[in-house]
């Protein structure tokens, strides 16, 4: 019987400080994400979903199965896109060019992305995705939704559930979102764009 496992972080839990504290990583990765993994493993046991890849479950499941699978897919993409804080951290390669041509500049893209995250009511995720032609799309997805449900390839995501930032930023969600630009690993995002 297949079981999903908790993602291993490719960096130490304190590497993202001060943008995301070690304490937040401990709860967010070690408790919240672990909880979704445990819930999905229990829920899919003895069902046709037990033989599916995670993305397939997210496209086909409903209810609690969808919520837990979606949260695992979302968090795996989220945690794998970060690295130690860098000044003047910017997109690279073809993605940098597409951002420039579609949004006018990286700064305009950042504003639109943070605005989408800041105005998402309640819990959810803000996403940058690509369609089949490589066109970029910013979307707000509530709860555990993922752009794969709309046929898009997810590239970058900021988690706006309070558990993602409350220990470090309390109610200051926009401050948290603006700080996250320092830790985005744009090589990872460009890789996702190339492999879409």
Pick from 79, 161, 165, 193: which binds Mn ion (CB under 5 A)?
161
Residue whose CB is nearest to Mn ion in the complex, by number: 159
Q: Shortest gap between Cβ of 35 and Mn ion (angstroms)?
A: 10
Task: Evaluate the omega torsion of the peptide bond into residue 18 and state whether it is cis, within 30 degrees of 0.
Answer: yes
Minimum distance of Mn ion from residue 78's CB (angstroms): 7
185 interacts with Mn ion by CB under 5 A: no
Nearer to Mn ion, 109 or 161 (CB): 161
Residues in the chain: 196
Using a 10 angstrom Cβ sphere, with 0-12 exposed, 13-18 middle and 19 or more buried, the burial of residue 168 is middle
Q: Is 1 helix (H, G, I), strand (E, B) or coil?
A: coil
Is residue 39 within 8 Å of 107, Cβ to Cβ?
no
Rounded distance, CA 10 to CA 29, Å? 12
Shortest spacing between CB 105 and Mn ion, in angstroms: 29
Least distance to Mn ion, CB of residue 161, Å: 5
Position 159 contacts Mn ion (CB under 5 A): yes
By beta-carbon proximity to Mn ion, the closer residue of 28 and 192 is 28
**Candidate segments 6-14, 92-100, 146-154, 163-171, binder of Mn ion by CB under 5 A:** 163-171
Does the protein bind Mn ion through residue 141 (CB under 5 A)? no
What pairing do the DSSP bridges indicate for beta strands 124-130 and 136-142? Answer: antiparallel
What is the rounded CA–CA span in Å between residue 155 and residue 192?
6
Residue 130 is encoded by which pair of tokens? 């690509």
What is the enclosing helix (H) or strand (E) of 117?
helix 106-118
Q: Which stretch binds Mn ion (CB under 5 A): 62-70, 93-101, 109-117, 153-161?
A: 153-161
* Minimum CB–partner distance for residue 106 and Mn ion (Å): 25
Which of 10, 149, 168, 169 is closest to 78 using CA atoms? Answer: 10
Q: Which is nearer to Mn ion, 95 or 148 (CB)?
A: 148
Identify which of residues 19 and 99 has a Cβ nearer to Mn ion in the complex: 19
Please report, as ranges, the residues that interact with Mn ion according to CB under 5 A: 159, 161, 164
């Amino acid at each position: 019987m297949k079981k999903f496992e908790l993602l291993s972080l490719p960096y130490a839990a304190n590497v993202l400080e001060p943008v995301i504290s070690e304490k937040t990583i401990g709860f967010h990765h070690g408790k919240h994400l672990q909880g979704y993994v445990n819930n999905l493993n229990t829920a899919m046991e003895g069902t046709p979903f037990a033989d599916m890849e995670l993305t397939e479950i997210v496209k086909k499941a409903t209810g609690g199965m969808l919520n837990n699978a979606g949260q695992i897919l979302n968090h795996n993409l989220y945690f794998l896109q970060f690295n130690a804080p860098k000044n003047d951290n910017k997109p690279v390669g073809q993605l940098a060019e597409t951002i420039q041509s579609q949004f006018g500049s990286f700064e305009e893209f950042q504003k639109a992305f943070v605005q989408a995250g800041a105005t998402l009511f309640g819990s959810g995720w803000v996403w940058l995705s690509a369609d089949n032609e490589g066109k970029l799309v910013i979307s707000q997805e509530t709860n555990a939704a993922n752009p794969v449900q709309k046929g898009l390839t997810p590239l970058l995501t900021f988690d706006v559930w309070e558990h993602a930032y409350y220990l470090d930023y309390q109610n200051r969600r926009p401050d948290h979102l603006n700080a996250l630009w320092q830790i985005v690993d744009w090589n990872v995002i460009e890789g996702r764009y190339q492999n879409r």
